[in-house]
Each structure stands twice: as structure tokens, then as C-alpha cells.
Amino acid sequence: MERIGKIFPLTRIRFVLIVMILALVLRAVYIPTQMPADFYADSYESRVVLNDIGDMYTKDNTNQTSTESSYWTKEESSPYPPFSLLLLAGIHLISGSNLWLGVVIIELIFIALFAFLCYRNRYERMLPFLTLNPFIVFRVWHQMDTTYMLMVYPIVIAFFMALSRRRVISSSIMALSFCIKLAPVYFFRFFPKLGWKERVVLIAIPLFLLVLPILFLDDYLYIYTFQGGRSVYPLPLMVALMVIFLAVFWWMEFHSSFRFADFITWSLLPFSVLITLKIGYWKYLAWAMFIPDRRFVMNYFGLTMALIWGLLEITLKPIDEVLAPFMVLIVILMCIVILLFQTRWKKGYGAIIARKDRIWSRIVIS
């Protein structure tokens, strides 16, 4: 590594530029030849909201096109909380009805912001994890997983705000993300450890964006029971894997010295494991492990899972219901690794990081 640094010295800005060029190339690979199914669901729902905001869940005043109805029923089209639908409608309006174009432009703006934040916080090593994850790029560009992008990408920004000790801004972003999708619910587990300002925003924002709409949006609550009866795996398997995960996860949390940024890092994981075991699709884990980790452990595991998916997709074309439990086992393994090495990290982690920083500084010249 040191010899590479002597042969090919990089400045920090040059490293960032190289990563960003690779990120653009990767995204070009995943440009779809035809619009994905989610495009039609989100486009229809956006038109519903723009036509009559009070009709966003009853959907009586806007008809589907024949193409939209061939993919989704009205009930199945984007059953998301009100804040999510308002964001989708805004993107649809600004992009001139080309929702896919609007989504990818927003994604490019986000990764440019990630590059700036990584550079500013001297976290350049995190940038490849945030921009070169093939599964995440596939989900956004090829499958148009818009609402997850709108939820998770701001959480990345909340992580960097936490590193800068801007806890109120971080908490506000987490509350807004929770109002897009409920996945970051575990962040509220740390509510007692937060200051009064953070508590106020965590109560006020969901109250305004999630609870108050019950009073004036007909049929709003159906979205919370939409997939309530769906279950892919036998109940004993679901319960066994969830109990094992929670036991290891809470034991890891108990033995870890969590900082505020760590609350953000782990906020998505428990809910994502639960929904993966219920629905049988591991994309929820991939999104949860996209959040930056101070120790980089979760990001290494997340990228490894994405590469495993890529290899299997090329060779075996695995069924998601078969792959999902194995991905949950990888998550459990990750928590065990962190738990086993926690004592060693407490004693020697600083020295390990110092050594890595010395090597890095010889490769990337500040």
C-alpha cells in the first residue's frame, strides 16, 4: 500500500473525483431500456395528488391509464404516508411528468452532496460505499425505488451532521425520514438519551406529518394494514431468526459505546430484519446497511452482500424468498463479529485506526 502511494500519489480531491467518475459509469450501466413497474405506480399516485390532494388514498377522481392498471391496482399504487406522496408529486411536477428523470437527477445531487460531506469531514474512504454499491444503484436507477432513496439518503446526511455535533438538525432529518417510511423507528429507542430540543422535533414532526392527516384524509389508515396478512416463511422460522438477531443485536448494543452518530447508523436495521423475514425480500437489509458506520464494519458487510447478490444474479438468478434468510444470517454474523471484537476494539481500535490513517496519508496526500 505504501509503495502504491509512492508510485501513484493521490490528492484527496483527485481520489474523490475518481470515485465520482466510477459512480457515473456504474449508473450508466443501470439505465433501464423500459420503465420499471414502480414508475407506473408512482406516476399514477403523483397525478392523483396533483389533481386532488384530499383524494390521495381514495383515488376516486383520477383514472389509471391502461399501462398503469396492467401493473398495479389503485390500492396497490404507492401506499405510502402523506409526506412521501407529496414528495413524489413534487418531483413529478418539477420534472415535467418524467418521474424517472426527476428521481435520477435528485440522486445525482445527493451523491455530489455525499462527496462534499466526505471530503469536508475527511471521510473520503466512506465515499465508495455511498456511491459504488451496485445493488443500491440498481434499485434507484433500474427499479426506481424512489421512496427508499428519499428516506435513506437524507439519513446519510443526518449521520454527517451528527459528526459535526449538529444534533437538532440530525434529529429533524431522522423525523422527516420516519415520516417518509417508518423503517427508522428504532432511532426512537434512543429517545431518553437525547436532549430536549431533539425530543421536541422528534415528537412535533411526526405528529404534524403522520398523525394530523388522519383527521382530513379519507382511507389514510389502510396503508398501515395493506400487507398485514402477507407472510412468506413459516412462523417458527421467522420467530427463531428474529429472536436470535435481537439477542445478538441488543447484546452488541449493550457492550458498545454508542455515540449519537451510532444511533443513526443502526436506526434502520431491526425493522429491516423484521420486514425481510415477513415479506422475503432482502432489499430492506441492503438499504439499512447503506448508512455510514464509524467503524466501517456494517458498510463492508453491506457491500459484501451487494457483491454476493451481483454474483448470484449473473449465475444462478436466485429467488428472493430463498436468498433473504441467508442475508439475515449474514447480518447476525456481522453483529457477532462486532460483539466478539468489541473488547479488542476498546483497547486497540485507536491504534489500528492510527496505523490505517498513516498508510492512507501516504496514499492520499492531504
C-alpha to C-alpha distance for 175 and 187, rounded to whole angstroms: 9
C-alpha to C-alpha distance for 270 and 248, rounded to whole angstroms: 11
pLDDT of 228 reads 56
pLDDT of 317 reads 62
C-alpha to C-alpha distance for 291 and 218, rounded to whole angstroms: 35
State the pLDDT confidence band at 344, using cuts at 50, 70 and 90: low
β-pairing verdict for 364-365 and 10-11: parallel
pLDDT of 237 reads 80
C-alpha to C-alpha distance for 141 and 32, rounded to whole angstroms: 7
State the pLDDT confidence band at 229, using cuts at 50, 70 and 90: low
Count Cβ atoms below 10 Å from residue 74 Cβ, excluding itself. 18
pLDDT surpassing 80 at residue 76: yes
C-alpha to C-alpha distance for 24 and 13, rounded to whole angstroms: 17
Parse the chain into domains and list their residue ranges. 9-365
pLDDT in tens, 257-308: 778 888 899 999 999 988 888 887 888 888 999 999 888 888 888 888 888 8
pLDDT in tens, 149-164: 999 999 999 999 998 8
Instruction: Give SS3 for 364.
Output: strand
Q: Which residue in this structure is represented by grid cell 395528488? A: 49
Q: Could you tell me which of 52, 289, 263 has the C-alpha nearest to residue 175?
A: 263
pLDDT in tens, 207-226: 999 999 999 888 888 888 76
Q: Enter the C-alpha cell of residue 243.
A: 429472536
pTM value?
A: 0.88
Backbone angles phi, psi at 165, to 5 degrees: 65, 30
With 0-12 CB in 10 A as exposed, 13-18 as middle and 19+ as buried, what is 166?
Answer: middle
C-alpha to C-alpha distance for 132 and 114, rounded to whole angstroms: 12
Q: What is the rounded radius of gyration, in angstroms, for the C-alpha atoms of the chain?
A: 21
Helix axes 99-120, 37-51, angle to 10 degrees: 100
Mean pLDDT of the residues in the chain? 84
Q: Could you tell me which of 99, 92, 83 has the C-alpha nearest to residue 38?
A: 99
Q: Which residue in this structure is represented by grid cell 386532488? A: 52
Higher per-residue pLDDT: 236 or 81: 81
C-alpha to C-alpha distance for 197 and 189, rounded to whole angstroms: 16
C-alpha to C-alpha distance for 101 and 140, rounded to whole angstroms: 11
Q: Could you tell me which of 154, 214, 145 has the C-alpha nearest to residue 178?
A: 154
All residues at 6 or more sequence positions from 252 whose CB lies less than 8 Å from its CB, including other chains: 335, 338, 339, 342
Mean pLDDT value of segment 66-87:
90
